[in-house]
Amino acid sequence: MASLKRILLATDLEPKSDRALERAVRLAHRFDAELTALHVVDGNGGRYGCLPLHHVEGELQRHILAASGGGGIRAQAVAVRGDAVEHRVAGYAGLWRPDLLVVGLHQRDRVADLFLASTVERIAIADGTPMLIVRDKPLQPYLRALVPVDFSERSRSSVESARMLMADGCIHLLHVADLPEASALDKAQVEHDFRNVLGPWDDGSPGGPEVETILLTGPPGQRIVSLARQGRYDLVAMGSARRSGVSRALLGSTASEVIEALPCDVLIGGVGMGMGSGWSPVPAPTLCP
């Protein structure tokens, strides 16, 4: 199974930004990946506006080394100046081509505007860079993931991504049929579609997370948020930010509202541009009642 090679952390160095940094360090350590921590110094001033860039980079390095395991990974710090944070982050991602962009979600009035509504559109649509939005302190690896699927090829990428980030635990695949309650739903066809999204799970690798499937009807955004809250998931993995399927229901004008409503970390896009199709064997999925 493919692994992460390059991780880009976009951090504002504000309180609670250590959560995204710690998750990025954990992932870099697990996959032996190279980590780049990027901070965009606000050209209009701000906390680090008067400092030389190499001083800001020194502060970034200090934060990396202070994180558990930070001294044992390959890491670099980069500080740049710019008025539009999203342009700088997207531009650096386009040049460095990371396998994963990690950002934090902790300032409702700032990060949601800079990283979600704008950067998801600019980065994920422009060059396909997947984004991990970190809300919780990473006390353990991901163990419970919810993966909404619309049975497109991008859905399979979401499933592969969730499995790659999880060494163990359980993945729940969720399909929400946006139909009137009176409409008939062919559950046999849905089960067949679930199997197609899962793809081959027969590469002979031991272990890996278990997989279950869930079928619901109603507004996709509301159902996903409700189930994520009830199921105590630590990760929700959604498809590409390109406007189709589940993505169209969740991204765009309501992106920040939906993602802020989720109680856990969120992965948008498929991790690892060179990810292979290796799967560990698991029992055939069954529809949850």
Digit-coded pLDDT (tens) for 171-194 = 999 988 877 655 667 777 888 888
Asked if residue 99 is part of any domain, the answer here is yes
**The two three-digit tokens of residue 256, written as one number:** 């920040």
pLDDT beyond 60 at 223: yes
Task: Say how far apart CA 52 and CA 205 lie, in whole Å.
Answer: 49
pTM as predicted: 0.81
Q: What is the number of residues in the chain?
A: 289
Bridge partner list, 81 = 41
State which of 100, 134, 168 marks the end of a domain: 134
pLDDT beyond 90 at 36: yes
Q: Which domain range does residue 37 map to? A: 6-134
State which of 134, 162, 181 marks the end of a domain: 134
pLDDT given at position 164:
87
Which ranges of 137-254 would DSSP assign to H, the alpha helix? 153-165, 187-198, 220-230, 245-250
CA dihedral sign of residues 52, 69, 90, 250: negative
90 and 190 in a single domain? The answer is no
Task: Say how far apart CA 147 and CA 245 lie, in whole Å.
Answer: 13
Proportion of the chain above pLDDT 90, given as a percent: 29
pLDDT beyond 60 at 126: no
Q: In this structure, what CATH number is given to the domain that contains residue 246?
A: 3.40.50.620
Mean pLDDT value of segment 74-99: 85
103 and 191 in a single domain? The answer is no
123 and 241 in a single domain? The answer is no
259 and 154 in a single domain? The answer is yes
247 and 183 in a single domain? The answer is yes
Bridge partner list, 172 = 146, 212
